[in-house]
A and B are shown apart, each in its own frame.
Chain A
């Protein structure tokens, strides 16, 4: 399965998308861009909702540029759930199936599995009215998956959800999407989505892809302030530190994970050998020139590689082996500490500061992660 976009352009009023070329195999590409950059236009072109002025769209080796929407087999999850209000949950899920498929035992057992994987079996007889936002998006996902799509497109599917639902669904979503082994495009402007879901990232700005790469490549590239897309990415990724590492063990609801030679701690239990990705707010990282005795679990000794002064705060960039950290301190604190580039300092943060947003149980096996959440928080039921 693959999706190829070749030199596609589309003019809509004063806005022009492209010329744009992309190739996605069985991975999740997160397309990131500011409002009006052409993200939705791009996925609407792939879905056939609009047709390109030039260029070709190839799905699995077949040119689908001029194919009707209904014959493209696209799994599309819209920003609004778009569940049909006159049908109940089960009817919505089965909507895309033909009568013959509904009578086919194999298809129906696949449907059952999708419903079970998403944990929505208890909702099947419910009306759409009265469902929560998270439930609606899970049903949208199920409805899209049952048609066995060739390509998956997701247009900011979490944007209308509250923070806690968003966090829960985001972790589940990667497992569900990885399991499909399909070319997947996920459009977003949320920082956490990039870290939590992407195999690769494309930065779209003014209708043009300005940057492409995997997470590490993009994060390393944005540190050099060059093009407008860098400044956009800097804004999006400006609030936190994304750290990923391998879990080495859990004890007393505290998990240790390794990032290069550094061992860090986070709250919650995660399987050993799994890989987790966490976000730490810049404001949560404090700096000290000396080693101090503190209740905080995480202490990293690193070199100051950059100091950026903004209007009322100072961002201090540290590097310690494979770990990059940014600490945001006040101007007064920066003056008192008198930190200079090249010197070594301690960066300290509590085990409750890292916010786990990505978990991969076993990189070689594809399965939905069974995360044991913090504070005994249950999945949405």
Chain B
């Protein structure tokens, strides 16, 4: 058979070679991600995990991170989703410039973002002197930092999701007698829902993990990232385990939510 069709044979050999390469690359990457976690298990064995996990400063930091990340994500969604819609649907002057501005927090190292935020909101800044609110070393400071670094995570996926909704659905809805605002809430948002939800989830996770900018703006009260940083500085690696374990539990929860959103969407729309 192979003598009759040498092309077929060579294809098979190539395909196997390709598969083999993919498996090797994939395994190395997975190993790279998992290896440090294995190390974590060994460290965990030498401490009383249950006691460490419920350490008050750990719990407080974790709750603070979740609370502030939720508030940041909600505020971002109020401003970010309409902006994403405008970028996806409207043609206007300086649109390219706005697109560039949107990705600035993604490109800037978080520490640099924190520095410029401190310069803008610090106690000696124009805003800091004008408005009687503690923008730094406060919950407000944490939220400002999180919002700055997480904003692209909401805007970019939502923009892509809006761009993926064919505008013929919106036109059809308007021809059927619905006003623009009603079309936005009844057609556009539900059809772009997956992208928007994934963006919200990513922004939330990014906010929880935020360190650099928060460190500059608001070292106190401690978020979970700053707590891990400080625990490491004071007590070494062992001390960081409870914070890391809580974040791992959270990441499993986030992944479950993400998979649920995707599965629900593909079942409903067949996309």
Interface residues of A (CB under 8 A from B): 47-49, 69-74, 76, 78, 80, 82, 84-86, 95-96, 98, 127, 129-130, 143-144, 147
**Minimum CB distance partner of A74 in chain B:** B175
CB < 8 Å: which of A73, A129, A147 contacts B269? A129
**1/0 per position for B170-191, CB-CB distance to A under 8 A?**
0111111111000000010011
B169 within 8 A of A: yes
CB < 8 Å: which of B176, B179, B190 contacts A95? B176
Q: How far is the CB of B181 from chain A (nearest CB, A)?
A: 11
What is the bound-complex CA distance between A310 and B150, given in angstroms?
70
Q: How far is the CB of A111 from chain B (nearest CB, A)?
A: 14
Say yes or no: A49-B191 contact (C-beta < 8 A), given A78-B168, A127-B268: no
Report which residue of B173, B175, B187 has the largest number of chain A beta carbons within 10 angstroms of its beta carbon.
B175
Q: How far is the CB of A136 from chain B (nearest CB, A)?
A: 12
Sample 27 A-B pairs with CB under 8 A, ordered by A number: A49-B171, A70-B174, A70-B177, A70-B179, A74-B175, A78-B168, A80-B168, A82-B169, A82-B171, A82-B172, A84-B169, A84-B173, A85-B271, A86-B190, A86-B191, A86-B193, A95-B176, A95-B178, A96-B176, A96-B177, A96-B178, A98-B177, A127-B268, A129-B268, A130-B270, A144-B176, A147-B176
CB < 8 Å: which of A71, A86, A144 contacts B268? A86
What is the bound-complex CA distance between A283 and B172, given in angstroms?
42
Q: How far is the CB of B67 from chain A (nearest CB, A)?
A: 32
Within 8 A of A (CB), among B86-112: none
Tell me the number of A-to-B contacts counted with CB atoms below 8 Å.
Answer: 57
CB < 8 Å: which of A47, A84, A98, A130 contacts B175? A47
Are B174 and A69 in contact, with the CB atoms below 8 A? yes
What is the bound-complex CA distance between A96 and B178, given in angstroms?
7
CB contacts (< 8 Å) of B175 on chain A: these are 47-49, 69-70, 72, 74, 76
- Kindly list 8 other residue pairs between chains A and B, CB separation below 8 angstroms, not including A85-B270, A144-B176: A69-B174, A70-B174, A70-B177, A96-B176, A96-B178, A129-B268, A129-B269, A129-B270
Q: How far is the CB of A99 from chain B (nearest CB, A)?
A: 12
CB contacts (< 8 Å) of B174 on chain A: these are 69-70
CB contacts (< 8 Å) of B193 on chain A: these are 86
